[in-house]
Amino acid sequence: MYTAIIVDDEPWIIEGLKAGIDWGERGFTVIGDARNGQEALALIERLQPDFVLTDIKMPLLNGLELIKKGKAVSEHTLFVVLSGHAEFTYAQKALNFGAFGYCLKPFEIEEIQSMLKRLSEALAAKRNRHSHDRVAELYEAICTGEMDTVKRVLEENRMPLNDARTSIIPIVVQGKELPLAWPNIKHLGFRMSLRRYGFLVYEHHVKAFLQSVVEAYGIAPYSIGIGHSLSDLAGLEGSVESASLAAYGLFSTGKPGVYYSAVADSPIVEHLKRIADAITREDRIQFVACMETTRAHFHDGTFRMNDAYLLFTSTMYLFTRDGMKAGGKLFEGYQQLYEHFGNVDAMLDYLIVHTSGFIVEDIEARTMSVSHKKIKDILLYQR
């Protein structure tokens, strides 16, 4: 929602504007009003509104002076002036002072509604431009731990992290092209990589944000990772990383949806020990059985992208360590692994097939004792 202040020395005009206009329909909420320019200037400095609707002739500080001084204390605020026909020259001067527009008294409600529509469009475009200018700076600052820069960008976008009332949740979305700006949802978006987007969203807007993203994707595959709630910047980097890992849920499980940060330690280490034992003993049956067990754990959400990366890298390393030239690819990070394989099933199938020639043993005799049909089929196929 955009914020507005109404300024007029006639109380009945203020109340009439509040009651007679559907501010919410255009995305506005009235957060204050004032009866003179001096009172209004103090409100503007304190509340930093998006928009001020002000009369021209007022005591203490007139509308023209208010625009000039108001822009000095709240540079992003837009002003629209109310003036009678006899004061039309003042309205023209207001435009020269940087006012967005004017409405002549007596005004029609439709005229104000039309002005709010134009204001909403202008504010949305302004916010999007500002947000895009800060995208690279914000994400880079999060990754490098430069919290002073992060704090400045958040405050410039009026998303300060002061206390529990302004808690932010990092959200990472993996999927097709996605807009970084969502109307009427308090957030800040940044591109992380190809088809991967990060968002800092106020906690009370998360439900609406998720609904908007899911509706935008429709039947297209997507994966959304949710980080931990934050009321200060201390844990921001870790929460973004948690959300980033969770956003690979589609890769791990094969199912689109919303995935939350892991809360328990993964049992992947024990599985890696069994895989290492199978490779050391050149036990092809145990190796394939371990891969199929890990596949089930990925599908049920026990293992995640960091486990996939560790599994793939460790397995390729183990073959090289034991003098077996696997000759396979190694990847520099999660995203490379994701882009190469697309899902964990393709990765596990690659490991099973690619390593089939590096464990030499009499498989045929041992295969006959294997009861698991899929494992038996894999082993027989690879003889």
Burial (Cβ within 10 Å: 0-12, 13-18, ≥19) of residue 348: buried
Task: Tell whether 254 and 272 lie within a shared domain.
Answer: no
Distance between CA atoms of 151 and 133, rounded to whole angstroms? 16
Count of alpha carbons within 13 Å of 35, Cβ hemisphere only?
Answer: 4
pLDDT tier, 248 (very low <50, low <70, confident <90, very high otherwise):
very high
User: Nearest-CA neighbor of 343 among 250, 222, 257?
Assistant: 250
Of the candidates 260, 278, 311, which is a domain's last residue? 260
Beta-strand pair 222-226/51-55: unpaired
Task: Tell whether 81 and 176 lie within a shared domain.
Answer: no
pLDDT of 143 > 60? The answer is yes
Quote the number of domains for the chain.
Answer: 3
User: Nearest-CA neighbor of 251 among 295, 191, 202?
Assistant: 295
Of the candidates 209, 244, 260, which is a domain's last residue? 260
Torsion, CA 237, CA 241, CA 243, CA 246, rounded to 10: -170
Mean pLDDT of the chain: 79
Specify the pLDDT at position 136. Answer: 62
Of the candidates 201, 227, 260, which is a domain's last residue? 260
Distance between CA atoms of 134 and 10, rounded to whole angstroms? 41
Task: Tell whether 228 and 316 lie within a shared domain.
Answer: no
pLDDT of 10 > 80? The answer is yes
Specify the pLDDT at position 145. Answer: 81
Least confident piece of the model among 7-11, 183-187, 378-382: 378-382
Give, in order, the Cα–Cα distances in Å from 374 to each of 344, 369, 370, 378: 17, 13, 10, 6
Distance between CA atoms of 246 and 66, rounded to whole angstroms? 49
Task: Tell whether 254 and 274 lie within a shared domain.
Answer: no
Domain of 46 in residue numbering reads as: 2-107
Residue 326's SS3 state is coil
| Residue with tokens 């371990």, as numbered in its chain | 290
Task: Tell whether 209 and 187 lie within a shared domain.
Answer: yes
Beta strands across the sheet bearing 222-226: 187-193, 196-202, 168-175, 222-226, 257-260
Q: What is the mean pLDDT of residues 352-371?
A: 56
Give, in order, the Cα–Cα distances in Å from 148 to each of 140, 156, 197, 229, 304: 12, 12, 22, 20, 32
pLDDT of 146 > 50? The answer is yes
Structure tokens at 294: 């890990």
Give, in order, the Cα–Cα distances in Å from 297 to each of 73, 292, 307, 359, 372: 57, 9, 10, 25, 17
In a domain, 139, yes or no: yes
Task: Tell whether 282 and 186 lie within a shared domain.
Answer: no
pLDDT tier, 365 (very low <50, low <70, confident <90, very high otherwise):
very low
Task: Tell whether 234 and 296 lie within a shared domain.
Answer: no
Distance between CA atoms of 292 and 348, rounded to whole angstroms? 8
Burial code of 237-274, b = ≥16 C-beta within 10 A, e = fewer?
Answer: bebbbbbbbbbbbbbbbeebebbebbeeeeebeebbeb
Task: Tell whether 220 and 279 lie within a shared domain.
Answer: no
pLDDT tier, 153 (very low <50, low <70, confident <90, very high otherwise):
confident
Structure tokens at 95: 């435009």
pLDDT of 228 > 70? The answer is yes
Specify the pLDDT at position 333. Answer: 81
Among positive and negative, which fits the CA dihedral 212, 77, 121, 180? Answer: negative
In a domain, 6, yes or no: yes
H/E stretch holding 55 reads strand 51-55
| Residue with tokens 């998720």, as numbered in its chain | 210
Distance between CA atoms of 127 and 119, rounded to whole angstroms? 12
Question: Which has the higher per-residue pLDDT, 26 or 308?
Answer: 308
Specify the pLDDT at position 134. Answer: 56
pLDDT tier, 165 (very low <50, low <70, confident <90, very high otherwise):
low
Question: Which has the higher per-residue pLDDT, 331 or 278?
Answer: 278
pLDDT of 111 > 60? The answer is yes
Structure tokens at 202: 């106020």
Distance between CA atoms of 191 and 136, rounded to whole angstroms? 8
Task: Tell whether 100 and 207 lie within a shared domain.
Answer: no
Q: What is the mean pLDDT of residues 81-105?
A: 67
Specify the pLDDT at position 101. Answer: 75
Residue 21's SS3 state is coil
In a domain, 90, yes or no: yes
Identify any residues that bridge with 257 across adjacent strands, giving them in sequence order. 223
Distance between CA atoms of 324 and 338, rounded to whole angstroms? 25
Question: Which has the higher per-residue pLDDT, 113 or 262?
Answer: 113
Structure tokens at 238: 């870790």
Q: pTM of this prediction? A: 0.58
In a domain, 126, yes or no: no
Structure tokens at 291: 């891969």
Q: What is the pLDDT of residues 25-37, one digit of tens each?
A: 878 888 888 888 8
pLDDT tier, 346 (very low <50, low <70, confident <90, very high otherwise):
very high
Q: What is the mean pLDDT of residues 240-245?
A: 90
